[in-house]
Amino acid sequence: MLGDIIYKKLDELAEFSKDGEGVTRLPFTKEHKEAITWLEDLMNSANLTTKIDNIGNLIGEYKSPTKNAKTLVIGSHQDSVINGGKYDGALGIVLPIMCFKDFYETHGALNYNIKFIAFADEEGVSFQTAFLTSKAVVGSFTPDLLERVRYDGKTLKKSLENFGLNADISECKINDVDTFLELHIEQGPILDNKNLSLGIVDAIQGIERYHVEITGFAGHSGTIPMDMRRDAGVGAAFVISRITEFAENLKNIVVTVGCLELIPGAVNVIPGKSIFSIDIRAMDPLLIKTMVDKINSVLSETCEKRDLSFVLERKMKADSTICSKNVINMLEESMKSAGVPIFHMTSGAGHDAQEMATIMDAGMLFIRCKKGISHNKEESVMTEDIDVACKVLAEYFKCYK
């Protein structure tokens, strides 16, 4: 079955990763280059014409013989988080290409065009953003992002140049496109708990990400009395615990501090500086605003009390997205034709579909992942669910208009 073939292809793709646990494939790296070379072969085997745009997205095109045909865009991201799983992003690139190849060999020409996209950078791990390269595709990329600096001190601009890309990013904008469909693992436990293979996404929650720096004064851990310290590490600890408790009581919002650094980071030095990230998600933008106001007030109170100073900088914002009714209806029709139970849900995770929805009808189809585990090497899918997704996507190819 196609599910087994796709499963094995995803094992191959996962090999393009930095050493270490799970998959680490960050954008504009050796691993990214290897992955899109491999994906280009896969696209070519499906008779797609391929190109890499000026920000490293790989695009495979099927051109319909029909004049002035509509264009369906299908894709997801090639990049991973650090020590992530094999399926986050990758499944939404490989499955549609393999399913199209099988469909075209059986049914022949379509009366619409298809663009398959492997987005270079969705996770935002390298440049403290998210949906960086789908922003370029929809035309919302701003030149200031070129100055963002990644883990090795290189700016995005330099990283692109080293990757062989130094052209005008405004040329990445795609036009004359009608519908975007993204297949993606759910990254949550709902489908697994309900023993369902697939879910139609009705909405994707909004995201705001912040960079926080607290500055105190480095000192000797043995000689400075507790009441004379300006400990930036303790400042961070109080802030993180208070904003977490606030989010727990606020409900329908999630707040995560995924990165935390104490400087200078020596066992016998009072931290003079602490740097951490805050990732905030909710469907309701008012909840996010309430949370950001609380973060500001907790930072002010804590820093005043402990003679510290702080910087709170927003690094990215993506509005919550209501998925297109047209896409939802067509997914329902496809699931009905494939004899698959219809289930609607929302997405806790962010996706390129949020950017793509700013210029066209956009929707998502979720595929169960075991226990909802994701952003973890234990991430796993079943070949049976991949088969079910292929059946539904084939019906979608049939009914798309």
The binding site for Mn ion (CB under 5 A) comprises: 88-89
Among 96, 131, 72, residue whose Cα is nearest residue 10: 96
Q: Give which of ligand HGY, Mn ion, none residue 200 binds (C-beta under 5 to 8 Å, depending on kind).
A: none
- Residue 130 is a binding residue for ligand HGY (CB under 6 A): yes
Q: Residue 357 CB, nearest distance to ligand HGY (Å)?
A: 15
- Report the DSSP pairing between strands 219-220 and 260-263: unpaired
Q: Tell whether omega for the bond before 264 is within 30 degrees of 0, i.e. cis.
A: yes
User: How far lies 183's CA from each of 164, 264, 363, in Å?
Assistant: 29, 43, 9
From candidates 79, 123, 186, 379, binder to ligand HGY by CB under 6 A: 123
Would you say 71 or 347 has its CB closer to ligand HGY?
347
Q: Give which of ligand HGY, Mn ion, none residue 350 binds (C-beta under 5 to 8 Å, depending on kind).
A: ligand HGY
Q: For residues 17, 23, 28 and 33, what is the CA-based torsion angle, rounded to 10 degrees?
A: 40
- Residue 349 is a binding residue for ligand HGY (CB under 6 A): yes
Residue entry with tokens 């994707």: 204
User: How far lies 106's CA from each of 99, 100, 384, 395, 398, in Å?
Assistant: 11, 10, 21, 13, 12
- Residue 122 is a binding residue for ligand HGY (CB under 6 A): yes
Would you say 80 or 197 has its CB closer to ligand HGY?
80
Among 209, 211, 216, residue whose Cα is nearest residue 233: 216
Choose the stretch contacting ligand HGY; rule: CB under 6 A; options: 46-54, 122-130, 335-343, 379-387: 122-130
Half-sphere exposure of 78 (CA within 13 A, CB side): 30
Among 316, 55, 35, 292, residue whose Cα is nearest residue 163: 55
Would you say 122 or 395 has its CB closer to Mn ion?
122
- Residue 350 is a binding residue for ligand HGY (CB under 6 A): yes
3-state DSSP call for residue 45? helix
Q: Give which of Mn ion, ligand HGY, none residue 182 binds (C-beta under 5 to 8 Å, depending on kind).
A: none
- Residue 186 is a binding residue for ligand HGY (CB under 6 A): no
251 φ/ψ sector (left φ>0, alpha ψ -120 to 50, else beta) = left
Mask of contacts with ligand HGY, 305-344, x by CB under 6 A?
----------------------------------------
Q: Residue 281 CB, nearest distance to ligand HGY (Å)?
A: 7
Q: Residue 84 CB, nearest distance to ligand HGY (Å)?
A: 9
* β strands within 205-308, DSSP E: 206-215, 219-220, 254-256, 260-263, 269-270, 273-282
Would you say 85 or 272 has its CB closer to Mn ion?
85
Q: Give which of Mn ion, ligand HGY, none residue 89 binds (C-beta under 5 to 8 Å, depending on kind).
A: Mn ion
Calpha distance 110→191 (Å, rounded):
32
Would you say 189 or 219 has its CB closer to Mn ion?
189
Would you say 221 or 376 has its CB closer to ligand HGY?
376
Where along the sequence are the contacts to ligand HGY (CB under 6 A)?
122-123, 130, 349-350
